[in-house]
Structure 1
Amino acid sequence: MATAAGGSSADNDTECSVCHELFKNPKLLPCAHVLCRHCLLSWLASNPEALCPLCRGAIADTKEKSRTKGWKEVVDALPDDVAMAALVESTRVLSQDHVCVVCQSAAVSICLTCNDIMCKPCGQAHTKYSVTRDHKMDDLSSMTAEELAASQPDHCSVHTSKPCELFCPTHGAAICHLCASAKHRACPDLTELAEAADKSREELSQMVTSLLTEEQQLEEAVAALERHLEATEKVMQEAVAEIDMTCDKLENSVKECRRRLKNMTLDAKAKVKDTVLAVKVTLLDHRGRLTSHRRVADRTTRGATNKIMCDVTRALRNRVKDILVTCGQLSVDWKSVSTVTLTIDVAAVTRIEKELSALGHMEVKPVSIGTRQVRRMLFMNQYGQLIDLPHQS
Structure 2
Amino acid sequence: MATGPAVSSALETIGRHHLECSICQERYQQPKILECLHNFCEQCLLKYCSTKHEGSTAIPCPVCRQETKLPEVGVQGLKTNFHLIGLVEELELQEKIVGSGDACLLCDVCEGGNEATQRCLDCGQYMCSVCSRMHLRFAATSNHKVAPLKDIREGKVTVTKKHQKQHPKCLIHEGEVARFFCTTCDMLICRDCTVVNHCKPEHSYIERDEATSTYKQSLVQLFPPLENTITELQKSREKVSRTKEDLAKTERM
Q: Which has the higher contact order (CA 8 A, sep 6+)?
A: 1
Point out the structure with the larger helix share: 1
| TM-score of the two chains, using structure 2 as the length reference | 0.43
Larger radius of gyration: 1
| TM-score of the two chains, using structure 1 as the length reference | 0.30
